[in-house]
Each structure stands twice: as C-alpha cells, then as structure tokens.
Chains A and B, each alone.
Chain A
Amino acid sequence: MNAARISDKSTGSRIMQAGKAILRAPETGLFIAILLSLGMIAYLDSSLAFFSRYSRQTLYHQIALYGVLAIGAAVVIISGGIDLSIGSVAAFASVLSAKLVTSWLPGASVDASNPPGAITVFIAIVLTMLAGLIIGIIHAQVIDRIGLPPFITTLASMAGLRSISTLLAENRSINVSFNSFRWLGKEWQNSVVVFAIVAVIFSAILGLTVIGRHLFAMGGNETAARLSGVRIRRLRAFAYGTSAMLAALGGVMFTGKSGQGQSTLGVGYELWAITAAVVGGCSLAGGVGSIRGTVLGLGLIQIIIKGTGQVVREFEVSLPWIRLISDAPWLNPGWRTFAFKGIDSTQIEGLILGLVVVLAVAFNQRLRVRRG
C-alpha cells in the first residue's frame, strides 16, 4: 500500500516536473504565440479561409522554402556569427543551377519537350550545393585568417555574389520550365520533405553531437572554447559552410518554384532567415538557440504574414473595437469614417511583422534574464 502510494507520488511529481519543464522551455512562448495568432485569424475572418486545405498547403510551402535558409542562419548565429550573404548565395545558386541544367552540363537542354535527364539535374543540384559550401568555407577562412568581422565578410559577399550572378545570367532570367528540375520547389509536399530532412539532421547535429556542443560553446565564449581545446577554425567552416550550402539549396528550391533562374532572387531573404532565427530564440550574441525554435519562429512569422493577407481587406479593417469606438456617440462625427480606407494587406504586413518581432524577442529576452 505504502509502496503503491510512493510510486503514485513519484509519478505525479515526475508529471509535474515534466509539465514545469515544458512551460519553462523557450519554445513554449512561441507555441502559445502561434496558437494566439491562429485564434485571432479565426476570430477576424469568419470564413475560416485561412484554414482551408489550399491555404494550409501554401503556408507549409512557404515555411519549407524559407525554412531551409533559416536553419543555416540559425547555425551561424548559434556559433556567434552572422551571415548576410544568404539571399545573394541563393541568387547565385539559382543562376548557377539554371545555367548548369540548361547549357553547361553534358545533356543540358533548354527545351521543355526534351528536358535534361535525372542524372544531369542531380549533378547540377549537387554542384550548386558544393559551390555554396565552398563559398561558406571561404567566408570562414576570411574571418579566421584575415581577421575581418563576419558582418563585413558576408556583407562583401552579399554585394559581390549578386554582381557575379547578374554577370552569369547576362542580366536576364534563365527559364527552366521542365519538372525534372522544378520538383524540389514546385510542389509543396516535396519542399516540406526536404525541409523536414534538413531540420531533423541539423537538430540532431546541434543537440546530440560533439560538434553541436562545441558550436554552442564557441558561440557562448569563443576564447574560453579555444582554451578548452575546441577547434574554432573547423567549427567556423562548418557553420558558414552549412549556412551557404543551405542557402544554395534554398536557391535551387526557389528556382524550382518560379521556373526561372534569376540574379534578382532573394533580395532581403537573409533578413527573413535571421529574423526567423532570432524570433525562434537564437541570441545574436551567440551560444543560444535551437532548430526547433527557429522552425517555430518561422512558422509564427509566416502565419502572421499570411494571416494579415487573409484578414485585412480593402476599405475596412475587421477589428470590432474600431467599430465600437467609431460608433460611440461622444466621438466627433468626422472621426467615425475611420481613415483605414484604401489599405491593402501587402502594405501593412511589414508593420505587423515588425511589431511581432519586437514582442517575441523582448519576451524571449525577459525569459532568459529570469532564468539567469
């Protein structure tokens, strides 16, 4: 009887502890924010179109495409660095892969009725990712050997790679309309599978391997990590190599979605990737963060952007309290015609996203300070 009571007590306390651990987890806040956002969207848009199958698929597609970039950004941020070249690497990869499958590789073709074979496409994608990896390793080498700050190194790449992409593309889009190349990015299911594989691999590397622990140590205090015997140069090459390689993969996927290799692809995408990582709990000071947090952060951002597009309608914002105020008898009649007329969702999504980023990061920081 006593033994059974003790066992019940210990099970109960274990459940309590697990519950507390879940509540304390940095991702819990994000999860709650996502649920609140979904609730808000459902409340404001009674048609529930946001939750339709088609709408959900497009949301998953967007999360998958940007997610590949965001995971690379998170790895670099956790290691204590920053990669501003993600968008330009994606553009370079877009042009390079399109050139490879349409003209440079044996078996390349521009003709949609006679598309290049699977091997040609596979080689093109592998070579493109390899090029991304090399770019990332060069970033790490420049940071370590020349001593340039990561911000400057990747800023230079951001400008330089965009220029190289424009030169390679001869200032025009390269059409790759055949499905054998587009499959990675065209259909949402394929993109989600690729993203899930990438997320699981890098989550495991960061959470379960020595490399992962060393990356956190390096991001937290590089000098201490070096003195403890951590091989900083190799780790930095791994972090920047990962970021650029995933940016290249993202470039291939975005190219698949649009059907065109473009040097103008990905302008500002590095900011999306970094924002997702930061909202997801990665500290720009390094040493803190997770892939699952980054994925949730990206999910929150995409839900808010898509939700804004869904909820905001021209000539009217469906916020009941605005109607309440505008109908109030004490209000100046001129004010009742609220000046929210003529707005489009695409015009205000940046404002709403900015507010959410500030709130999410402030919340994360407060949580971190409380935990000490």
Chain B
Amino acid sequence: MQRRHFGIATLGLITSAITLAGCGGGGDKAAPAPSGSPSAASSTPAKGGKMRIIFVTNSNADWWNAMEKGMQDAATELGVTAEMRRNESQSQGQIRLLEDALSLEDVAGVAVSVFEAESPGIADALRRLKEAGKVVITVDSDIAPNNIDARRAYIGTFNVKAGEAAGKAAAAIRPAGGKTAVFVGTAAAANARERRDGFFAGAGPKFTQVEIFEDQTDKNKAQVNVQTALSKYGDLGVLVGLWSYNAPRIAEEVSRTAEIRKKVSVVTFDLDELAVGHLEKQNIDATVCQNPYDMGFQGVKLLKALINKDDKAVAEVLPDGKVRDTGVRIVVPSKASPVKGDNVISIEEMKAWLASKGLKST
C-alpha cells in the first residue's frame, strides 16, 4: 500500500518537475559555451531579434527595485530585453547565477554587482563570461583592482565618498561629535567597510566607534541590535545604518521615546520605502542616497553600446572610458537641516523625484 503511494508521489514529482522545466522561458537555450572555444566567441540574439542583457545582483534587498526600474526604462527606450537575477547574499549563489548566464547563448551582456570584491571564484566566472564573447560590466559594487581585467567598465557610487558624505553630514548635525554605533548586515562586505571607513574619515576625530553590530540581513536581528546598543551605551551619540534596511529599524527604536530621540543623531544610507515616513517625522537626520535608477539605466545603455561597438555612445556613458560615478544625494527632513551643500535635498524634493520615476524608494 505504502509502496503504491510512494510510486504515485514519485510520478507526481517527476511530472511537476518536467512541467515546471517546460514553463521555464522559451528563450533560455541551455547550451553551455566552454570558455575559450571558438563557438563561444559570440552571442546570438534572443527570440524576436532583441538583444538580451542580464543584471546579477549581490542581494535581494528592495534597493534593487529602483535599479530594475531604471534598467527596464532603458530597455524599453533602447529596444533591448533586460532582466534582473537576484542573488541570495552568498558568493556561491552569485557564481551559480553567472554560470547560468554563461549557459544562455542569447545573452549578449552581463552587468553584475560583485558580492565580494576579492572573491577569486566570482572573478573567474566573470572571465569565463568574457571569454565566451559576452560583454561584462560591474554596477554598484566593483571587483577588486587585482581582478580588474575581468570586467570592461564600472558604473556606480564610490562607497568611500558616500561614507565621507555621511560623515560630514554627521559632523554638521552634531559638531561636538560623539560615540557612534554602526549597524550593518555583514561588516566584512566591501561596501560596508568602505562606507564605515569613509564615514569616520569624513566625520573627523570627534566621532569614535563603540561597536559594529551585524545582523546577517535578518531584519528582526537588525532591530534587536539597535535596542542592545541603546541600552548598552547610555552615552551613545550617533547611530549609523550602513545598509538600507537598517534605517527604518534604527528610526523606529529611537522614536519610541522623545528622550532617546533628543540624545542621538541618526545617519543612514539609501532610502528604504519605510524610511521615507521616518525622514518626514525627523526620526532620521540625514540619509546618503545612491542613484540605483541611474545605475540601471546607464548600465543597459552602456552594455548595448559596447555590444554594438558604438564608440560614440560608449563615450557618452563613460567620459574616461572606464568608470562612471553616479554620485550621491544627501536627503534631510527639511531645508532647516544644518546639513548644507549642492547635493543636499529635502525629503519632499526626493519624493517628487521618486514619483517622477515611478519609484517609492532608492
């Protein structure tokens, strides 16, 4: 009896697997191109003759939605097919996604946000893509200088500069400085290290780090870390959220009592959708925003130009032929904020810009 049930279940599973595989997109031609082989020297266009481009992320945070929107807007404007494949915050996962892209013959260009700049595995996967005739660029997070040959160009923000901007904002908000707690998913990640170093370089010696709290992208843990920091360091002055989801978790905790909010300053990075309301309510003093929409848009534009060997279009995106800095904006609750500068905008102005692009966050 049990054997019969087992047989039925096995048959059901096999049928489901075949059905799912059949549904898996007609454009995916599973034809691995061995690196360096003559047949891998070029990529054939996707069905309907449209050029196919893939973006590989380094995590699946909401931050990528803005890049996806920019990517799709550019794809529509330029008549190409662009798709985003999201990694689950692991080097191995990103390598697998890059290998998948290698096996898709009709993919002509790949943009990747490198999970670990120093990872030899990721660098090797990028080189194999390049050898297979696909154009490879990095966006948002670049590969380490010793592996720079693995990609053609980089589009993104220099995280050290973004960190410096955040540090200068903190110094403007809190001229006396203070003890600083830093919150992040993984402190060892390249963007986390660079932002943290940039922050303390920009903020100056009056700001001292008391501790880095890691949460491994668990948002409940991220909030618990803020609670721990607030109860552990009674004289805490500044809370810095290095990754986008840290911002609402910090803001929610510090806004619980007016007493805590008065004592501490909050500086974060990027603009999570939940952080918008907290900026309006002044629970966050300043947030340094990258421009993922522009990274997505320019990424598609550059890949198309490189694939078509259109030097004029390439020069438009890459003035120096190698790198495009999409810059940062510092968003503050209102114009009354002590943070001043050409790249400082109020949350109202930011919301208007987001609405113009059909976005809710960056």
Contacts and interface: CB of A to CB of B under 8 A. Distances in A.
A49 B234 contact: yes
Given A147-B6, A172-B65, A58 B232 contact: no
Interface stretch (A20-28, A123-131, A203-211, A306-314): A306-314
Most buried by B among A112, A146, A265, A267: A146
Contacts of A146: 2, 5-6, 9
B212 A344 contact: yes
A306 B9 CA distance: 45
B60 interface: yes
Interface string B222-240: 0111011011101000000
- Of B212, B220, B223, B249, chain A has the most CB atoms within 10 Å of the CB of B220
Contacts of A265: 219-220
A46 interface: no
A50 interface: yes
A37 interface: no
Contacts of B230: 54
B178 to A, nearest CB: 16
A65 B6 CA distance: 37
A109 interface: no
Interface string A150-192: 0000000000000000100001110101000000000000000
A173 B211 contact: no
* Range, interface on chain B: 35 or more
A62 interface: yes
Interface stretch (A213-221, A235-243, A252-260, A329-337): A252-260
B213 A344 contact: yes
Contact of A58 (B214, B224, B234, B249): B224
Contact of B225 (A47, A55, A346): A346
A52 interface: yes
B210 A314 contact: yes
A49 B213 contact: no
A310 B6 CA distance: 52
Given A146-B6, A309-B232, A345-B211, A257 B223 contact: yes
A177 B274 contact: yes
B277 A112 contact: yes
A186 B248 CA distance: 13
A120 interface: no
Interface in B95-131: none
Nearest to B88: A264
Nearest to A59: B227
A264 B277 contact: no
B273 interface: yes
A306 B228 contact: yes
Interface string A69-107: 000000000000000000000000000000000000000
Nearest to A55: B231
B231 A345 contact: no
Contacts of B274: 175, 177, 259-260
Contacts of B214: 344, 346-347
A171 B231 contact: no
Given A47-B234, A52-B231, A310-B228, A171 B60 contact: yes
Contacts of A49: 231-232, 234
A173 B63 CA distance: 10
A262 B228 CA distance: 24
B218 interface: yes
Contacts of B225: 309, 346
B219 A260 contact: yes
Given A49-B231, A145-B5, A309-B228, A314 B220 contact: no
B86 interface: yes
A171 B215 contact: no
A309 B222 CA distance: 13
A259 B248 contact: yes
Nearest to A53: B231
B217 interface: yes
B224 A62 contact: yes
Given A47-B234, A177-B277, A257-B223, A171 B86 contact: yes
B228 A345 contact: yes
B215 to A, nearest CB: 7
Contacts of B9: 142, 146
Nearest to A56: B231
B349 interface: no
A254 B274 CA distance: 16
A264 B273 contact: no
B62 interface: yes
Contact of A346 (B6, B210, B215): B215
B227 A55 contact: yes
A254 B220 contact: yes
B20 to A, nearest CB: 11
Contact of B211 (A171, A260, A264, A314): A314
Q: Which of B225, B231, B234, B273 has the most CB of A within 10 A?
A: B231
Contacts of B60: 166, 171-172, 264
Contact of A258 (B2, B220, B231): B220
Contacts of B86: 171
Contacts of A172: 60, 62, 65
Contacts of A171: 60, 86
B255 to A, nearest CB: 12
B347 to A, nearest CB: 16
A239 B355 CA distance: 49
Contacts of B248: 259
Contact of B227 (A58, A254, A259, A313): A58
A306 B227 CA distance: 10
26 contacts: A49-B232, A49-B234, A50-B231, A55-B227, A58-B224, A65-B220, A147-B6, A171-B60, A175-B273, A258-B223, A259-B248, A259-B274, A262-B219, A265-B219, A306-B228, A309-B224, A310-B232, A314-B211, A344-B187, A345-B211, A345-B228, A346-B212, A346-B213, A346-B215, A346-B225, A347-B214
Given A147-B5, A175-B274, A265-B219, 7 more contacts: A49-B234, A55-B231, A145-B2, A172-B60, A264-B60, A264-B88, A310-B232
User: What 4 pairs across the A-B complex have the smallest Cβ distances?
Assistant: A309-B228, A55-B231, A58-B227, A346-B214
